[in-house]
Amino acid sequence: MSRIKNSATFAVFKFEFVRQIKKPSFWASIILFPLLIFGFSLIAFLVGKDSATNVEKYDENSTIAVVDEARLLPEEAPFVIDGGRERGVEMVKNQEVDLFFYIPADFSESRNIEFYHISETIDIFNAESNAIRAILSQYLTANLDPAVVVAITGNFNVADNPLTSSGEPSNALGQAIIPLVFLVLYFIFLILFGSRLLMTVVEEKENRISEMILTSVSAKHLIVGKIFSMLLLGVIQILAFVLPIIILLFVFRDNAVISRIISLIVVNPTNLILTILLFIFSTFFLIGASTFVGAVVPTAKDASQFIGPIVIGTVFPLYFMQLFLMPEPGAFVEFLTYFPLSAPMALMLRNAFGTLSMPGFLIGLVEIAVMSVVIIRVTIKTFVKNAINFSLVLPKFARKRR
Amino acid sequence: MKNIVEVKNFRMDFGKKTVIRDLSFSVKAGEIFGLLGSNGSGKTTTLRALLGFYTPTAGELLIDGRPYDPEDSSVVVGYLPEERGLYRKETVMDTLIYFGELKGLKNPEEWALRYLKRVNLLDKAKEKLEKLSGGQQQKIQLGVTIMNEPKLLILDEPTKGFDPVNRRLLMDIIDELHKKGTAVILITHYMDEVEKLCDRALLLKDGVARAYGSISEIKKEFGGKSLDQIFIDIYGEENE
């Protein structure tokens, strides 16, 4: 008997996989989707570059300290301190000053200035860095001889040294790269497979075949077979998206930008495992939500009314990216982090931006895992009971509005 | 003879509406059983409850002594439902092979070719189902229903839409299965099919059994009238 059960699940898996992979639309999406992602990323980059970023915290009221080993500034200037670079860094760590600038002895040759500040955000567009440069110029202009100002600010390079609030060197971007890669993969899966799964489940009802098939195979094996076929298709799609990127990174690994990005990547084993688990559970939750709708509604047309809200609910946190970049998440971000539909993406964003505590991460993981199991089990039961529901029965209040 | 189907005190309510009231009957292993009645009398509801699609309000519906579960049942069931459909974008052959694999056939391809030859559709093997006529699609559905030689075959209006030639073909197929020991529950509005094929029958009206027994017993109960006339006597008043 168990051989028949397993072969039935495998038969569903094979049938669904082969018929999807035969569709031209599947291959078209493999080619088109990376292009679309690239296009949207480019637009987001161009728009984001000009938009306001989290730099309001630096203004004329920011406190600064400068260690001037090049002896360019008058010693009586109020912001010039003694004690070398270490003392300045300590002052930032202890939050005695907001910004610390270090002008090395060889400044006249190197033209390099280092600056230190607490930063929990990712300064993708150098907005924070530019704001700090402006603050330095402002201080110097207000306090010094114009000739000295020109000598320092006329042409210099900056080396940004952000620190975490605990005083450790901060590499927020490097730490975000791997979680963000998984977020992108989840987004791809959502866009490409959310509706496809739903349509696959609703198809038996749409084609009036559910009664016949459910006397041959249990709903559990039917749904499980469908889910695994979609997962394999998703893996193929993701590989088609990721492999060219990996190959390009490898081929151009000596390129300055690419080698810098690669060198930035931080691999924290514990976080990597949790991130992978979050991705897997989130994918199962998405599958559960899509198949549940497919199990409840009678036709693909009815299903299409529901897939939109699922997608919007899932990507909702992306609309509030700015809030997720804040070092201290507000109540709204906390709500999105644990609200069922938005939880996967909110957790992924907060994991990427380093604003998720370990207990918070674990609570979110358990929540999504439990919800996935519950929703898939409910889907299987619902599928049988709705197998012969050939028209959408809405609650009374919805029928009136219709 | 052992009962393959037992329905005891079955009641089915949909909201406030009672569709079946205290219905009891049995189907013996190897017999052809007619489940008869006008539209809306509760035939399809009874079959759906028997196969687990509906949870009965009261009573028991058993196949081989237990509620039906496609994978735990000791009896292989074939069901041709009233609502007909197939994967319209798939080919005839792919569909038959898929169902063959679902039902655990050792060589579904070989079975499919043999069946298609039998029902004169071998030339359509590579066609998509949506390209087939309604009657041709029905033959494919019947193939899916009988492919694993079920011990209980449930046919809900199997000849609806068939021309006389194909009706005869279907009757022959049912008869063959019956000779191999398959019990058949047949829902039909053609009384000649019932007279020709069925050993016993149940006539349902508004969810209540109006007649139940062997064909000869039912005829005797209604004064020796033909089944056609009995049907008209029972259900004709609905249209008056």
pLDDT tens-digit readout, B116-174:
999 999 999 999 999 998 888 989 999 999 998 899 999 998 888 788 888 888 888 88
One DSSP character per residue, A122-175 reads --TTSHHHHHHHHHHHHHHHHHS-HHHHHHHHSS-EEEEEEE-TTSSBP-HHHH
- Quick: pLDDT tens for A293-329: 888 888 877 877 788 888 888 889 988 888 888 777 8
User: ipTM of this predicted complex?
Assistant: 0.84
Interface contact A209-B87, CB threshold 8 A: yes
Interface contact B80-A207, CB threshold 8 A: no
Q: What is the pLDDT of residue A153?
A: 62
Asked if pLDDT for residue A399 goes beyond 50, the answer is no
Secondary structure of residue A23 in the 3-state scheme: coil
B129, B130, B131, B133: CA torsion to nearest 10: 90
Tell me the H-state helices in A167-218. Answer: 172-206, 210-214
More confident residue, A252 or A54: A252
Cβ neighbours of B141 in A, within 8 Å: 212
**String of b and e for A365-402 (b: at least 16 CB within 10 Å)?**
bebbbebbeebbeebbebbbebbbbeebeeeeeeeeee
Q: Does B98 touch chain A (CB under 8 A)?
A: yes
**String of b and e for A198-216 (b: at least 16 CB within 10 Å)?**
bbbbbbbbbbbbbbbbbbb
Binned at pLDDT 50, 70 and 90, residue A1 comes out as very low
Q: What is the pLDDT of residue A150?
A: 64
Query: If you average pLDDT over residues B43-56, what whole number do you get?
Result: 91
Cβ neighbours of A8 in B, within 8 Å: 71, 101-102, 104
Q: What is the pLDDT of residue B75?
A: 80
Q: Does B63 touch chain A (CB under 8 A)?
A: no
Domain ranges in chain A? 2-49+172-387, 64-163
Q: What is the pLDDT of residue B12?
A: 94
Asked if pLDDT for residue A61 goes beyond 90, the answer is no
- Quick: pLDDT tens for A65-89: 888 888 777 777 777 888 888 888 8
Reading the block at residue A139, the tokens are 């201080």
Q: Is the dihedral of CA A56, A59, A65, A66 positive or negative?
A: positive
Element (H, E) at A103: strand A99-103
Binned at pLDDT 50, 70 and 90, residue A60 comes out as low
Reading the block at residue A346, the tokens are 């909110």
Binned at pLDDT 50, 70 and 90, residue A398 comes out as very low
Interface test with A, best of B47, B51, B53 (most A CBs within 10 A): B53
Tell me the H-state helices in A207-342. Answer: 210-214, 219-251, 256-264, 269-296, 300-319, 321-325, 331-338
Q: What is the pLDDT of residue B131?
A: 93
- Quick: pLDDT tens for B54-65: 889 999 999 999
Cβ neighbours of A14 in B, within 8 Å: 101
Which long-range CB contacts under 8 A does B226-232 form with residues at least 24 apart? B226/B191, B226/B195, B227/B191, B227/B194, B227/B195, B228/B191, B228/B192, B230/B203, B231/B36, B231/B191, B231/B203
Residue of B nearest to A387 (CA): B53
Q: What is the pLDDT of residue A210?
A: 83
Pairwise CA distance, residues B47 & B25, whole Å: 12
Binned at pLDDT 50, 70 and 90, residue A401 comes out as very low
Element (H, E) at B19: strand B17-28
Reading the block at residue B236, the tokens are 């004709």
Cβ neighbours of B94 in A, within 8 Å: 15, 19
For residue B1, what are the contacts with CB-CB under 8 A and spacing of at least 6? B28, B29, B30, B31
**Greatest C-alpha distance within chain B:** 54
Residue A83 · residue A92 · CB < 8 Å: no
- Quick: pLDDT tens for A370-383: 999 999 888 888 88
Query: If you average pLDDT over residues B174-180, what whole number do you get?
Result: 90
**String of b and e for A268-284 (b: at least 16 CB within 10 Å)?**
eeebeebbeebbbbbbb
Binned at pLDDT 50, 70 and 90, residue A2 comes out as very low
Query: If you average pLDDT over residues B27-41, what whole number do you get?
Result: 91
Element (H, E) at B185: strand B183-187
Cβ neighbours of A217 in B, within 8 Å: 70-71, 102
Query: If you average pLDDT over residues A3-12, what whole number do you get?
Result: 73
Query: If you average pLDDT over residues A210-234, what whole number do you get?
Result: 87
Interface contact B99-A8, CB threshold 8 A: no
Q: Is the dihedral of CA B14, B17, B23, B26 positive or negative?
A: negative
Lowest average pLDDT, out of A13-17, A23-27, A38-42, B180-184, goes to: A38-42
Mean pLDDT over the full length of chain B: 89
Q: What is the pLDDT of residue A127?
A: 60
Interface contact A211-B51, CB threshold 8 A: yes
For residue A282, what are the contacts with CB-CB under 8 A and spacing of at least 6? A186, A344, A345, A347, A348, A368
Residue A113 · residue A101 · CB < 8 Å: yes
Q: What is the pLDDT of residue A385?
A: 75
User: Strand B77-80 to strand B152-156: parallel, antiparallel, or no bridges (unpaired)?
Assistant: parallel
The pLDDT > 70 percentage for chain A reads 76
Find tokens 């809900």 and name the residue: B156
Binned at pLDDT 50, 70 and 90, residue A253 comes out as confident
Main-chain phi, psi angles of B156, to 5 degrees: -100, 100
* Nearest-CB residue to A7 (from B83, B101, B141): B101
Q: What is the pLDDT of residue A279?
A: 93
Pairwise CA distance, residues A225 & A204, whole Å: 14
Rounded to 5 degrees, what angle do the CA atoms A386, A190, A33 make?
130
Q: What is the pLDDT of residue A282?
A: 93
Least Cα distance to A398 among A327, A321, A297 occurs for: A297
Residue of A nearest to B105 (CA): A4
CA distances from B115 to A387, B145, B165 (A): 28, 12, 17
CA distances from A332 to A313, A320, A325, A342 (A): 14, 10, 13, 12
Q: What is the pLDDT of residue A36?
A: 73
Interface contact B102-A387, CB threshold 8 A: no
Reading the block at residue A373, the tokens are 């199991």
Asked if pLDDT for residue B84 goes beyond 70, the answer is yes
Binned at pLDDT 50, 70 and 90, residue A144 comes out as low
Q: What is the pLDDT of residue A59?
A: 59
Q: Does B53 touch chain A (CB under 8 A)?
A: yes
Q: What is the pLDDT of residue A396?
A: 46
Angle between helices A300-319 and A172-206 (to 10 degrees): 170
Pairwise CA distance, residues B31 & B18, whole Å: 30
Asked if pLDDT for residue A230 goes beyond 60, the answer is yes
Rg (Cα) of chain A, in Å, rounded? 28
Mean pLDDT over the full length of chain A: 78
Binned at pLDDT 50, 70 and 90, residue A208 comes out as confident
CA distances from A189 to A21, A283, A323, B57, B119 (A): 16, 8, 24, 42, 44
E strands present in B104-171: 152-156
Cβ neighbours of B79 in A, within 8 Å: 211-212, 215
Residue A379 · residue A227 · CB < 8 Å: no
Q: Under CATH, to which class is B3-76+151-239 assigned?
A: alpha beta
Query: If you average pLDDT over residues A248-275, what whole number do you get?
Result: 82
Interface contact B83-A388, CB threshold 8 A: yes
Pairwise CA distance, residues A134 & A58, whole Å: 9
Pairwise CA distance, residues B102 & A7, whole Å: 7
Query: If you average pLDDT over residues A243-265, what whole number do you get?
Result: 79
Binned at pLDDT 50, 70 and 90, residue A355 comes out as confident
Domain ranges in chain B? 3-76+151-239, 84-148
Region of A13 (left: φ > 0; alpha: ψ -120 to 50; beta: rest) is alpha
Binned at pLDDT 50, 70 and 90, residue A364 comes out as very high
Query: If you average pLDDT over residues B171-179, what whole number do you get?
Result: 89
Q: Does B174 touch chain A (CB under 8 A)?
A: no
Query: If you average pLDDT over residues A220-229, what whole number do you get?
Result: 89
Pairwise CA distance, residues A315 & A312, whole Å: 5
Q: What is the pLDDT of residue A400?
A: 42
Interface contact A212-B72, CB threshold 8 A: no
Q: What is the pLDDT of residue A53?
A: 45
Residue A216 · residue B99 · CB < 8 Å: yes
Binned at pLDDT 50, 70 and 90, residue A94 comes out as confident
Beta bridge partners of B202: B35, B212
